[in-house]
Amino acid sequence: MSAAGLVGVSGRWSVGPDVVRLARKLALGYRLYFSGDVLNSEGRKLFEEMARMLVYEHPELKGVVTRARRNPTLGNVLKVLERVLGDEAEKLVREGVEGPYAW
């Protein structure tokens, strides 16, 4: 991992606003974009758009993106989202799964 693209110590990469917007949409829309913890067809469309822009901006992330493309499980997609959103990614996915209320 190259330190040139990192911002701060959170592990978040410096990416464009469109990539961040699509990553947040994917993380918050768990019920829409995942079926059984695997991306469905709508989720794949959204992920592919985000991944295309991300790899264009940061070719060094191609490995983690390719892994998520081949096996689009929640865990692999979350690894990509963590590169884009940092620590916020897991929180947003949890919000998408549990909804706005914590029990």
Tens place of pLDDT per residue across the chain (103 aa): 444 454 444 566 788 999 999 999 999 999 999 999 999 999 999 999 999 999 999 999 999 999 999 999 999 999 999 999 998 999 999 988 887 776 6
In a domain, 50, yes or no: yes
- Total domains present in the chain: 1
Mean pLDDT, rounded, of the chain: 88
Q: What's the pLDDT score for residue 79? A: 96
Q: What's the pLDDT score for residue 1? A: 43
- Residue 39 CA from chain centroid, whole number: 12
Please give the residue range of the domain that contains residue 46. 15-96
In a domain, 9, yes or no: no
Structure tokens given for 92: 């947003």
Euclidean distance between the first and the last CA atom of the chain, given in angstroms as a whole number: 38
In a domain, 23, yes or no: yes
The helix or strand, by DSSP H or E, that contains position 36, with its residue range, turns out to be none
Alpha-carbon distance 101 to 22, whole Å?
23
If one counts every other C-beta atom within 10 angstroms of the C-beta of residue 43, the result is 19
Rounded to the nearest 5°, which phi and psi values hold at 96?
-65, -35
Q: What's the pLDDT score for residue 74? A: 95
